[in-house]
Amino acid sequence: MSTPEDLSISWQNLLEALPDGTAIIDVRGVMRYVNAELVYLTGYTHDELVGQNVQILIPPVLQPMEDEARRQYARDPDARIIWNDRALTVLCKDGSERWVDFALSSLIVDGHRWTVGSIRDNSVQRAAEQARIEAEQHFRLAFEDNMAPMVFTDLQDSIIAANDAFCAMIGRTRSDIIGFDSKPFTYPDDVGISEASHARFLQDEIRQVRYVKRYLHQDGRMIVAEVSKSPARDKTGKTMYFIISERDITEERMLTAQLSHQALHDPLTGLANRALLDDRLALAHSRIARQGGHGALFLLDLDDFKGVNDTYGHLVGDQLLEGVARRLEGVTRTTDTLCRFGGDEFLYLAEGLTSSEEAELIAERFLRSLDEPFAIAGLSLEQRASLGVVVWDSSNAEVSDVLRDADVALYEAKRLGRGRHFVYVPGMHHQVVNRFSMVQELRQAVASGELAMHYQPIVRLSTNEVVGFEALMRWHHAERGWVPPSDFIPLAEQSGLILDLGAFALHESIMAACEWGRSKDSLSEPYVSVNLSARQFHDPGLLTLVKRELDECSLPADRLILEITEGVALLEIADTLKMIDQLTALGIGVALDDFGTGFSSLSYLALLNPMIIKIDQTFVRPTTTTKHSDRLLETIVSLGHNLGMTMLAEGIETPEQLETLRGLHCSLGQGFLFSRAVPFAEAASMVGTSLSF
């Protein structure tokens, strides 16, 4: 048998000259000859390869392929087998693998068949192919499989590629959009946004751009997208196409709008809140300053809304506030701003008015909108409001002045009574400042000793004997001097200070009555009569306060009379009757003051059943004395006698008035004929005496 060594030297030279690594292999798979290129490619030496089975060069994973090649070769020994389209490698000495193309062919020498195995290094090509494959994978990840919507457009801004995410965002297929620009599915108001930026790219004004535009989804929805666009350039810097990446921010914008709405609107009523009102008021003020015209601000405050919360609970109170908001919305212009200012206050900003008269019409419309009762939780609730109005023009210097003046006008509306409106008049602010200063000084007056109780004697008209005293509050201001009660008592009621003053009056008066009872010269212990305001009389803590004061100095309850006016008594008749019953049960008497000056007096008199009826001085000393006035006084006294009530005449100033009352058998009286209200010490000297004049 011949061997490869028997080949002529020309054949060896030929094999060595081949660019491929080549081995001559016998039928058992043993390499009998290898050329230098194969030695170089595998890293083995010539001697390490010759005599070894070719399988040492085949990676384990390719062994099945080698077996298949053997079977294929056995079936057709004359065929040439070339594999260069498969992922083939040769196993090198150092354990690494080299990418190769592989070929098998038959060689017959002297009647003996040999196999020629050839490998060609294609590492460079394979690396390039692998890089291409990886680049394609990266492209798919970066573009086709990217969750972010992406588009490629040409120099005419027509779409040349779009990924699935972009198609899903706008609800269209690739065939719907490839070859077209974005106008057909752009929100009409946003057409031109993309075109404008594209024109700037072509003029080389920008390198990249970011903007927001809206699309129309196939189903009609509006999609808001944040668009980022930049050019793809070749090595020379020339623009080839444009890469556009987009982000669907529709939900983000909706959430932002929702949060913005929540930040600028009242959560209960849905109306604008103070932050939004402040912003719009500043804009309106600036606009009027530049363009002229008039604006108006309406500050509405619900009357006695606290009573609704206290009586029916905050849930009903909240529903009432919602109901009020809807009523007010029904009479306002959509171009203006209606705001819940806080609590039970509402603000309305109106622009484009021509006069204060127009503002008054709006105010009246507001108040009329609350005329009908509110049906809430099975209840029928009546709710009134007070309204302060300020009209301003370009002469108003500060926004804060407008808010301040509206508050001043509201204060004046409340002072005049419930359910009213008042338009601010220049100069009112100074009056309010004076009133505010007086309130502050009044708060300090109790602690500083400026407040004191004076006492006007009440006499038995038949004998002029002092039987009691009416306690009257007096204020001697360090700088103002004597401040009339008609000035400071209303301020106390409006500021809420009336409860503190009432408690002071009750304490001082009861202490005075205790001292009068200790007088050794006293023939009888006089009672003290204390006036109660409406707020004090209906205060839940009144009974507790009265009991504590009586207990502290051990004053018998029958020596205390509490006076209420007819208006106070009829304000909340059910509560009034309950309170009178509780006071009577303690032994405390109730006097009805200013009798005859209110409404429905006769119909409620028997129901109230006061211990004492105080006849108003307008009946005791009428402006003009006539038979009718005398008959009216007689009727009032007779009515009290028939009901078994003690009649007390106020304002007696002349002996003639005294004689008239004696003739009518009126029991008690007081007035300047006997004495003005005097300090405690002077009143104490009158205890147990009969007053002369």
Cα gap 91→46, rounded to integer Å: 16
Q: Is 380 exposed, middle or buried (0-12, 13-18, 19+ CB in 10 A)?
A: exposed
Separation between Cα atoms, residue 12 and residue 35, nearest integer Å: 8
Q: Residue 460 in contact with residue 667, Cβ under 8 Å?
A: yes
Model confidence pLDDT, tens digit, residues 494-537:
777 889 999 999 999 999 999 987 764 545 689 999 999 988 99
Q: What is the pLDDT of residues 194-235, one digit of tens each?
A: 888 888 888 888 888 999 999 999 999 999 999 999 998 888
Check whether residue 215 and residue 343 sit in a common domain: no
Give the CB-side neighbour count of residue 637, counting CA atoms within 13 A: 21
pLDDT of residue 432: 65
Please tell me the pTM assigned to this model: 0.50
Q: Kindly indicate the confidence band of residue 365, based on its pLDDT and cuts at 50, 70 and 90.
A: very high
Structural domain total, the chain: 4
Strand blocks (E) in 538-596: 560-565, 589-595
pLDDT higher than threshold 90 for residue 80 = no
Tokens found for residue 558 = 């029958």
Do 477 and 621 fall into the same domain? yes
Q: Average model confidence (pLDDT) for the chain?
A: 86
Question: Which amino acid is residue 326, in one-letter code?
Answer: R
How many Å apart are CA 211 and CA 186, to the nearest integer? 14
Closest among 575, 651, 580 to 617, alpha carbons compared: 651
pLDDT at 23 > cutoff 90: yes
Enclosing domain of residue 475: 438-684
In a domain, 130, yes or no: no
132 domain residue, yes or no: no
Confidence of residue 267 (pLDDT cuts 50, 70, 90): confident
Which pair of structure tokens corresponds to residue 587?
Answer: 């032994």
d(C-alpha 50, C-alpha 252), whole Å: 73
Among 208-222, 255-269, 335-349, 642-656, name the one with the lowest average pLDDT. Answer: 255-269
Q: Is residue 141 part of a domain?
A: no
Dihedral (Cα; 169, 173, 179, 180), 10-degree rounding: -50
Gyration radius of the chain's alpha carbons: 53
**Residue 654 scores a pLDDT above 50:** yes
Residues 569 and 631 in one domain: yes
Is residue 609 assigned to a domain?
Answer: yes
- Has residue 691 been placed in a domain? no
Q: Do both 235 and 371 map to the same domain?
A: no
DSSP-derived 3-state class of residue 104: strand
Residue 175 lies in a domain: yes
Is 134 a domain residue? no
Rounded alpha-carbon distances, angstroms, from residue 131 to 99, 126, 138: 14, 8, 10
CATH code assigned at 17: 3.30.450.20
Question: Contact, 442 vs 491, CB < 8 A?
Answer: yes
Q: How far apart are CA 491 and CA 486, in angstroms?
A: 9
Question: Do 481 and 614 lie in a common domain?
Answer: yes
Cβ contacts of 263 within 8 Å, gap of 6 or more: 275
Cα-based torsion angle of the residue sequence 277, 280, 283, 285 in order, rounded to the nearest 10 degrees: -50
Name residue 112's beta-bridge partners. Answer: 109
Amino acid residing at 373: P
Look at residue 511 in the predicted model and tell me its pLDDT.
Answer: 95
Nearest alpha carbon to residue 670 among 658, 678, 682: 658
Listed range (142-146, 556-560, 634-638) with the worst mean pLDDT: 142-146
Query: Which string of DSSP letters, residue by residue, matches 185-196?
Result: GB-GGGTTHHHH
- 311 located within any domain: yes
Q: Mean pLDDT across the stretch 314-343?
A: 91
What CATH number has the domain bearing residue 322? 3.30.70.270
